[in-house]
Chains A and B, each alone.
Chain A
Amino acid sequence: MHPAFSIIIFTTLSGLGYGLAAVLGLGLLDPAALATKLAHVLALLLVASGLLSSTLHLGNKQRAWRALSQWRSSWLSREGVMAIVAFVPLAWSAWLAVVESRYSPLPGLIGTALCLVTVYCTAMIYASLKAVQAWHTRLTPLCYLLFAGAGGFTLASFFAFAAQDRTVIIPLLAIFFILAAWSAKSRWRARMQAMVPLSTPESATGLGHIGRVRLLERPHVTENYLTHEMGFRIARKHAEKLWRLAVLAGGIVPAILLALLVLAGASGTFAALVAVVAVLFHYAGMFIERWLFFAEARHAVMNYYGG
């Protein structure tokens, strides 16, 4: 699948934003601290910019509102609806923290739940597509949810340290989610690499009873919408390298940095700076992970295009 820049930005930024918002909804951060107020604003900004960037690839952006109508059948529609519904408790919680310097569990916990539901809907857009076998697994929403938690707690660690909070629980949860997310993702990738293709050129043409089927000529000589959108291919050696980079940047580095901070009992400005580095590494890793999520997935239509 073609890794469209707008979709990668959308899924990573909104995943990070919903993760942070979900953590804020738990009330683990001091609502009176300036850093927590900024965290609320940043979470809303991340979610909003992610959602806006998701409309960039639309052919007719002016009709995007119509995407809210088909929540009965479409995960994409459900995601849009849930994103808007989730905004209500998130904005309420942000108002309470920023203006009134207090935390309320009612909007907080509802917000956390709706954040998770929204991320689940995003993941199900991909997981529901049978034509992309690598995505068509329950592990896909699991990975999206765990990565949102990992990003959320890592970013929340920064805000906790910046608020002079001597927290141990937030960075520890960040480490836990980072480890859980990458082990789920490793299983996801192992499944993709081991799977027997559901559809083959033989089943796609129905000619398997005669023999082995090979594309002789494409319908026309140049690329078309389908080969451009679905025919993206990545050299295996690069995929392997990128995967290692993603695990290193998105998992190992931030986990080690946060673990060192916990062990050193650090807090304050220095700890916050180290946590920022952890967040940046994690985001870079997520960006590569999401790029591979698209680039490595093979679409069934490529059985007709010899890819």
Chain B
Amino acid sequence: MTSLPSLPTPKKLGLVIDLDVCVGCHACVVNCKEWNTGGYGSALSDQDPYGADVSGAWLNRVHTFEVVPDGGEVVGEAGEARIVHFPKSCLHCEDAPCVTVCPTGASYKRAEDGIVLVDEEKCIGCGLCAWSCPYGAREMDLAAGVMKKCTLCIDRIYNETFEEADRQPACVRTCPANARHFGDLADPHSAVSIMVAERGGMDLMPEQGTRPVNKYLPPRKRKPLADSAQSLPSAENTDEAKGFFAWLDGMLDRI
């Protein structure tokens, strides 16, 4: 059934991604592919994998943006321009347009925890859900002819044969910078909800009316480079020299 759950889901499982911390290493991208090509549903195929025109289905991708404030020019040269690495996977929206457009009932949002999934046994590969998603969260698997998307590693997070620490999505578990966090965003006392409240976590494209569950933490305000440069001790300044160095400083001044 591709109608959305009629009531708000009691849990809203999702990710919080810290744009201040992400270093753009793509470890989450690779571990996502590695886990999910052997996990839920069909394998994530690649086309022409060893050729010049390689492409394939990925559920998580890292884009890199340059943000230039007014008056800023090129990164590193002027103004406060900065580079932001931007991981993007399914946002498990509360008003997920990809669910309601599905003609077969393959695309659905779980009433218990809000995870948006594709039942690959029902998917006909029409691609309309990918068209309806403003975030580009869904990619067709061209070998299997079915739509693939982030499952929030549903085969990890509820897997009781795993150690507690491993019951997290692969991208979160592998992030070496701790830029990705997983939790229940419906619970105001969860670590992710507190993080969102403290850091001003935001929705992507709120104007699309999709009400994403995943939140992004904006980069922290950066201290201008020039300010840091002024506080460095100057090599010419010997006022703070003590003891032997003060004596040496005085002697050298005299000769």
Chain B 125-153 interface mask (CB, 8 Å, partner A; 1/0): 11110111111100111101111000000
Q: How many residues of B contact A (CB 8 A)?
A: 72
- CA distance in complex: A74, B105 (Å): 9
CB distance from A232 to the nearest CB of B (A): 12
B103 at the interface (CB under 8 A from A): yes
Contacts of A236 in B (CB 8 A): none
Instruction: Mark contacts of B46-67 with chain A using CB atoms, 8 A cut-off: 1 yes-contact digit, 0 otherwise.
Output: 0000000111111001111111
Tell me whether B70 is interfacial, beta carbon within 8 Å. yes
| Interfacial chain A residues near B147, Cβ < 8 Å | 59
Contacts of A58 in B (CB 8 A): 124-126, 145
CA A10 to CA B104, docked complex, whole Å: 20
Q: A66-B105, A128-B101, A301-B136 are in contact. Are A211 and B209 (CB under 8 A)?
A: no
Complex interface residues of chain B between 134 and 189 (CB less than 8 A to chain A): 134-136, 139-142, 144-147
Shortest distance between the CB of B51 and any CB in chain A (Å): 10
> A13-21, A109-117, A199-207: which one contacts chain B?
A199-207
Closest to B29 in A: A219
Q: How many angstroms between the C-alpha atoms of A209 and B200 in the bound complex?
A: 12
Instruction: Place the interface of chain A in its size category.
Output: 35 or more
A219 engages B63 (CB within 8 Å): yes
Give, as a whole number of angstroms, the nearest-CB distance from A118 to chain B: 14
> Does A212 contact B104, Cβ atoms closer than 8 Å?
no
B131 engages A76 (CB within 8 Å) = no
Quick check: A224 and B97 within 8 Å, CB to CB? no
Chain B residues with CB under 8 A of A73? 2-3, 99-102
CB <8 Å contact, B68 and A211: yes
Q: With a CB–CB cut-off of 8 A, which chain A residues contact B69? A: 210-212
A303 to B219, CA, bound (A): 19
Binary contact readout B80-111 vs A (1 if CB under 8 angstroms, 0 otherwise): 11111010100000000101111111100000
Given the known interface contacts A211-B72, A219-B63, the answer about A74 and B102 at a Cβ–Cβ threshold of 8 Å is yes
**Is residue B113 contacting chain A, with contact meaning CB distance below 8 A?**
no
Q: What residues of chain A lie closer than 8 Å to B56, measured between beta carbons? A: 224
* Residues on the A chain within 8 Å of B58, using CB: 219, 224
Contact with B along A250-287 (1 / 0, CB 8 A): 00000000000000000000000000000000000000
Contact B132 A204 (CB under 8 A): no
Least Cβ–Cβ distance between A84 and chain B, in angstroms:
13
Q: State whether the Cβ of A215 lies closer than 8 Å to any Cβ in chain B.
A: yes
Pair B205/A66 contact, Cβ less than 8 Å = no
The answer to whether B65 touches A213, judged by C-beta atoms less than 8 angstroms apart, is yes
Check if B41 is an interface residue, CB within 8 A of chain A.
no
Q: How far is the CA of A220 from the CA of B53 in the complex (A)?
A: 11
Query: Which residues of B have CB within 8 Å of A224?
Result: 55-56, 58, 139
Shortest Cβ gap from A156 to chain B (Å): 31
